[in-house]
Chains A and B, each alone.
Chain A
Amino acid sequence: MWQYIIRRLVWSLVVVLLVTLLAFIIFYVLPSTDPTIAFAGKQPTPEIRAEVAKNLGLNHSKPVQYLIFVKHLFLGDQYGWPGFGKSFNSREPIKGEMFSRLLVTLQLAIGALIIWLTLGISIGVLSALKRRSAMDRGAMGFALLGISTPVFFLGILGLYLFWKVLGINPGTGYVGFRDNPWDWFQHMWLPWVVLALLSAAVYARIVRGTMLDVMGEDYVRTARAKGVSERNVVIRHMLRPTIAPVLTLAGIDFALLIGGAVVTESVFNLPGIGAYVLDAVGQNDLPVAMGVTVIAAVFVTIMNLIVDIAYGFVDPRVRYT
């Protein structure tokens, strides 16, 4: 098992490096516009642009810029480790800002994950058990609605209903948990629900489908024939094989939310990493775009590894060498 983990970690490193190279090419090499023009003011004379280039580290050749980026990433820079440099826009070190925003995105993602797993699995199981009933049809209708409705629409609708009309939500913005836990929860519950609904709908359908497959298995019939209570048949014999693919998916979906919750963060004005990178790309803030890409890539590869290892515990048939 340890050999497997170490091998996977090494490959993860290779994947992250490849992602940084690809991102560097996309952000720094391919664009036809010179980024120094964007930061050189109203009249970007060659002299001002040269100073801007020096200030922003753009005065080296592209390969050298990339190597400097990788070096700082692994060895750190004047702002610490990992070294992401400073933002072109704010002139502030990226590391501190990125990790504080990552914390906000993690809060959003974890809360949404709990809701969508709870909702998705419950609805999927009940739907499978009560197949073709009104409950099943209603649940799948909910799933269709959830999959079809864009997050930004749900978010705006939620704000309109709960903040503007009913006045039971404080509206957009973020309050730190340590500043005021109740305020924090009030600001977060609506984004959690909005973000969770789409995934809950998808997971409900997946769980329902998997449950229906499992329900037809011999060992389930055997368990019932042996007199095991229906509750135990569901929980001990049917749920476990159903959960395995759901876990895999949940891990990957969670990792993708780091950087992928940008719409929810923008609608609810949450200072997360998605909104950070969206702003950065729009303003040509290339180091921020690179930094967030690296973080997202690390998250996805690590989560993939965790999910694969967890799969081995959930499904005893899986062995790692």
Chain B
Amino acid sequence: MKKRRWVIATALAAGAGLVVAGCGGGSGGSSSTGGSGGATPQKGGTLRLETQDFGYTDAFDPTGEYLGLGWGLLNQLMTRTLVGYAHRPNEPGNVLIPDLAESVPAPSADGLTYAFKIKQGVKFGPPLNREITSKDIAFAIERIATPSLAAQYPNYFQNIAGFKAFSDGKAKTITGIQTPDDKTITFKLTKKQGNFVYAMATPAASPMPREVAGCFTKAGDYGRYVISSGPYTFAGSDKLDASSCKTLKPISGFNPTKNQTWVRNPAYDPATDDPKARGAYVDKITYDINTNAKDIFDKIEAGTVDGSPDTPPSDVIQKYATSSSLKNDLKIYSGDRTWYMYMNLTTPPFDDIHVRKAVSYATNKADLQKAWGGPVSGSIATHIAPQTVYHDRFPKDYDPYPYDLTKAADEMKQSKYDTNQDGVCDASACKNIFFVTRNLPQWSAMTPITQANLAKIGIAVTPRELPTSNAYTTIQTTANKVPIAANAGWSKDFADAATFFVLQDGRNILATGNSNYGLIGLTASQATKFKVPYPAGGVPSLDADIDTCSALTDPERIDCFINVDKKSMEQVVSWLPYLFANSVETASPALTNGYVFDQNSGEQAFVNEWVDQSKQK
């Protein structure tokens, strides 16, 4: 999810090294809700945040934003949805709760209909100050279906009847959405989709006023005009002249290259919300761009800034982790992100499952974790999606490939590429293998470890370190046939494993921009189309399993995807996950007791944070 931000984050976390590794830190959360020591939240004041860059993917337009920070800010502060989250750490933060709707609905008996009842008294903020209706939510879905708005997740909504016809311009409305009255909205699906309610919690599905959002038909243009339904609104929203599209001028509280400022939304009624989900303690939130990364963290330590969504540089992490006075200000939580290597199922020698298993056994993940800075950077990954995505139901002792050179050799002996069956690959296909990775510190530190690990089973990789975007473009171009790469990572869209297995679905393979790097589920016709070899024994597929699980709802859905995860690890063996990354941030003395993590977005729960104004400078 947070591709750009995690690039900076992990690059800087690497240098913390062994000293920090020795200090532990761990994952799964180091601060309780509401801050440490059970301090009572204080109302009032300003939460002051800084960042090197906003990193918004669609200029803050809810229809197109897809990274964690944009989602967190929108969902917490401005765009309430029919169902939402508690904006808390760990499992409670990943559970759906009612937001604009009176309850989280179960599907109808046939699994195809979802009906929501909207609460009374929920309103858009200034300048509209009017009641939110079911038609505002229907309009939001229409925006997702509008191609020119380039919504990022139409796949989560395309099962709504009539979605495609509307998207193709063949219908004026989405027939599967019914709004019999202002407070009722019903969605009829064409096939079962067990994560549909999760999709309705994304900012893209938040109610949008047609009289303002309807003026913008290009991706990202609505971002500076977002009308709030949450506890905060952009400063200056009341000055927006929404009498017509022509009179609209960008709201002053959002300058895309400088700052964002939120103030309380006078139209927000806390009685319609859950105070544990949105405490809304501070009166104002300022979020400024500061191009000097070091300066941001100096200011946080000095107390002139309260926090930053950016990951601190490694020397700052080390300082905080080793200082008794600063240790509590270092906030570490599971980031719900997997870093992994992949092996291309169509490219020798990785077209042989025994070679893939041998590589999995021969990879020392503990050493890779050290290269990333030790436990503070995350926990060792032994399966595809992190534990929180499975709502803590994945077996905790699961590790199909513990580091074991004997087992690695045993697997290699069974491979056609080990001609003399001595446990070492001797075929020419095992030499000089193109290996893509990033030219950032922790990946550079990983490269010699990987080379040494694979050399023990006779596999010689030739690393090519590239800048992040180039590395991704290289592996995303299917015809490049990159055999093995270490630059990839993925985080959840929401706590549903389907958001990970979209990467392992053969139907999602593309010629360029492809994310199924291992080509799992590739068919013979796709191989011809994308100009890649098709192994004689075929390519393992998870498509049918993904379809089966996708139709289920929790908890059966969770358990189904756990089995898919295990199948991917044990029978497909394309992914070699090595780290479940942590979110690491620092808090100022004024924020440290009021710091809260939002597990859903993987960012701070700004809406539930409070500041000790006496400690602000």
Say which residue of A33, A55, A159, A278 sits within 8 Å of B150 (CB atoms): A55
Judged by a CB distance under 8 angstroms, whether A80 is at the interface is no
Judged by a CB distance under 8 angstroms, whether B294 is at the interface is yes
Within 8 A of B (CB), among A262-278: 265-269, 271, 275-276, 278
Say which residue of A43, A90, A267, A275 sits within 8 Å of B256 (CB atoms): A90
Q: Which residues of chain B are near A278, meaning CB under 8 Å? A: 291
Judged by a CB distance under 8 angstroms, whether B81 is at the interface is no
A172 touches B515 (CB 8 A): no
A42 touches B1 (CB 8 A): yes
| A-contact bits for B465-478, CB 8 A (1 contact / 0 none) | 00001100100100
Distance of B67 from chain A, by nearest CB (Å): 9
Judged by a CB distance under 8 angstroms, whether A164 is at the interface is yes
Distance of A90 from chain B, by nearest CB (Å): 3
Q: In chain B, what residue has the closest Cβ to A164?
A: B298
Are A90 and B257 CB-contacts (below 8 A) given A42-B1, A55-B219, A266-B291? yes
Report the Cα distance A128→B540, complex, angstroms: 81
Distance of A191 from chain B, by nearest CB (Å): 11
Say which residue of A43, A266, A268 sits within 8 Å of B508 (CB atoms): A43
Max count, chain B CB within 10 A of own CB: residue among A43, A47, A52, A89: A43
Q: In chain B, what residue has the closest Cβ to A278?
A: B291
Q: Which residues of chain A are near B302, meaning CB under 8 Å? A: 164
Q: In chain A, what residue has the closest Cβ to B511?
A: A46
Within 8 A of B (CB), among A74-91: 87, 89-91
Judged by a CB distance under 8 angstroms, whether A45 is at the interface is yes
Judged by a CB distance under 8 angstroms, whether B258 is at the interface is yes
Judged by a CB distance under 8 angstroms, whether A97 is at the interface is yes
Judged by a CB distance under 8 angstroms, whether B142 is at the interface is no
Say which residue of B53, B288, B295, B470 sits within 8 Å of A171 (CB atoms): B295
Are A42 and B295 CB-contacts (below 8 A) given A37-B473, A269-B290, A271-B258? no
Q: In chain B, what residue has the closest Cβ to A49?
A: B513
A52 touches B150 (CB 8 A): yes
Are A266 and B473 CB-contacts (below 8 A) given A43-B502, A43-B515, A51-B147? no
B219 touches A89 (CB 8 A): no
Max count, chain A CB within 10 A of own CB: residue among B257, B304, B510: B257
Report the Cα distance A109→B121, complex, angstroms: 55
Q: Which residues of chain B are near A46, meaning CB under 8 Å? A: 510
B interface secondary structure, majority: loop
Report the Cα distance A52→B150, complex, angstroms: 7
B258 touches A266 (CB 8 A): no
B257 touches A45 (CB 8 A): no
Q: Which residues of chain B are near A92, meaning CB under 8 Å? A: 59, 224, 250, 256-257
Q: Which residues of chain B are near A91, meaning CB under 8 Å? A: 59, 218-221, 223, 256
| B-contact bits for A247-269, CB 8 A (1 contact / 0 none) | 00000000000000000011111
Report the Cα distance A264→B419, complex, angstroms: 61
Report the Cα distance A218→B215, complex, angstroms: 77
Q: Which residues of chain A are near B512, meaning CB under 8 Å? A: 34, 37, 44
Report the Cα distance A164→B302, complex, angstroms: 8
Within 8 A of A (CB), among B507-532: 508, 510, 512-513, 515
Say which residue of A41, A55, A97, A269 sits within 8 Å of B152 (CB atoms): A41
Q: Which residues of chain B are near A267, meaning CB under 8 Å? A: 291-292, 295
Report the Cα distance A45→B563, complex, angstroms: 28
Are A172 and B292 CB-contacts (below 8 A) given A51-B148, A54-B148, A90-B257? yes
Q: Which residues of chain A are near B470, meaning CB under 8 Å? A: 32-33
A40 touches B298 (CB 8 A): no
Q: Which residues of chain A are near B221, meaning CB under 8 Å? A: 91
Within 8 A of A (CB), among B237-274: 250, 256-258
Q: Which residues of chain A are near B66, meaning CB under 8 Å? A: 41-42
The number of residue pairs between A and B whose CB atoms lie closer than 8 Å in the complex comes to: 111
Q: Which residues of chain B are near A275, meaning CB under 8 Å? A: 291
B476 touches A42 (CB 8 A): no
Within 8 A of A (CB), among B272-309: 288-292, 294-295, 298-299, 302, 304
Q: Which residues of chain A are near B473, meaning CB under 8 Å? A: 32-34, 37
Chain B, interface size: which category? 35 or more
Judged by a CB distance under 8 angstroms, whether B190 is at the interface is no
Distance of B321 from chain A, by nearest CB (Å): 21
Q: Which residues of chain A are near B257, meaning CB under 8 Å? A: 90, 92, 97, 271, 276, 279
Judged by a CB distance under 8 angstroms, whether B93 is at the interface is no
Distance of B5 from chain A, by nearest CB (Å): 12
B256 touches A269 (CB 8 A): no
Report the Cα distance A80→B295, complex, angstroms: 37
Report the Cα distance A97→B470, complex, angstroms: 29
Q: Which residues of chain B are near A269, meaning CB under 8 Å? A: 289-292, 295
Q: Which residues of chain B are near A40, meaning CB under 8 Å? A: 150, 513
Q: Which residues of chain B are near A55, meaning CB under 8 Å? A: 148, 150, 218-219
Report the Cα distance A91→B54, complex, angstroms: 14
| A-contact bits for B195-238, CB 8 A (1 contact / 0 none) | 00000000000000000000000111101100000000000000
Q: Which residues of chain A are near B126, meaning CB under 8 Å? A: none
Within 8 A of A (CB), among B299-335: 299, 302, 304
Q: In chain A, what residue has the closest Cβ to B65?
A: A41
Q: Which residues of chain B are near A159, meaning CB under 8 Å? A: 295, 298
Q: Which residues of chain B are near A87, meaning CB under 8 Å? A: 256
B256 touches A52 (CB 8 A): no
A41 touches B291 (CB 8 A): no
Report the Cα distance A173→B400, complex, angstroms: 52
Q: Which residues of chain A are near B292, meaning CB under 8 Å? A: 172, 266-269
Report the Cα distance A91→B290, complex, angstroms: 20
Report the Cα distance A121→B257, complex, angstroms: 38
Q: Which residues of chain B are near A279, meaning CB under 8 Å? A: 53, 257, 291
Judged by a CB distance under 8 angstroms, whether B64 is at the interface is yes
Judged by a CB distance under 8 angstroms, whether B57 is at the interface is yes
Q: Which residues of chain B are near A51, meaning CB under 8 Å? A: 147-148, 150, 219
Report the Cα distance A70→B53, complex, angstroms: 30
Say which residue of A37, A41, A268 sits within 8 Å of B64 (CB atoms): A41
Q: Which residues of chain B are near A54, meaning CB under 8 Å? A: 148
Report the Cα distance A131→B353, complex, angstroms: 79
B290 touches A172 (CB 8 A): yes
Report the Cα distance A148→B136, complex, angstroms: 62
Distance of B296 from chain A, by nearest CB (Å): 9
Q: Which residues of chain B are near A22, meaning CB under 8 Å? A: none
Q: Which residues of chain A are near B147, meaning CB under 8 Å? A: 47, 51
Judged by a CB distance under 8 angstroms, whether A48 is at the interface is yes
Report the Cα distance A49→B150, complex, angstroms: 8
Report the Cα distance A49→B219, complex, angstroms: 12
Within 8 A of A (CB), among B339-394: none
Judged by a CB distance under 8 angstroms, whether A156 is at the interface is yes
Judged by a CB distance under 8 angstroms, whether A38 is at the interface is yes
Say which residue of A37, A39, A48 sits within 8 Å of B476 (CB atoms): A37
Q: Which residues of chain B are near A89, meaning CB under 8 Å? A: 56, 59, 256
Distance of B126 from chain A, by nearest CB (Å): 22
Report the Cα distance A48→B502, complex, angstroms: 17
Q: Which residues of chain A are near B218, meaning CB under 8 Å? A: 55, 91
Distance of A270 from chain B, by nearest CB (Å): 8
Max count, chain B CB within 10 A of own CB: residue among A38, A46, A51: A51
B294 touches A156 (CB 8 A): yes
| B-contact bits for A98-115, CB 8 A (1 contact / 0 none) | 000000000000000000
Judged by a CB distance under 8 angstroms, whether A199 is at the interface is no
Q: Which residues of A contact B (CB under 8 A)?
A: 32-34, 37-49, 51-52, 54-55, 87, 89-92, 97, 156, 159, 164, 171-173, 265-269, 271, 275-276, 278-279, 283-284
Known pairs A45-B510, A92-B257. 8 more at Cβ < 8 A?
A: A38-B469, A43-B152, A55-B148, A92-B59, A92-B224, A173-B290, A266-B291, A269-B290
14 contacts between A and B (CB under 8 A): A37-B476, A39-B57, A41-B64, A41-B152, A43-B515, A44-B512, A51-B150, A55-B218, A92-B59, A159-B295, A164-B302, A265-B291, A268-B292, A269-B292
Top 8 closest A-B pairs, CB basis? Answer: A44-B513, A90-B256, A91-B220, A41-B152, A266-B291, A91-B59, A33-B473, A269-B290
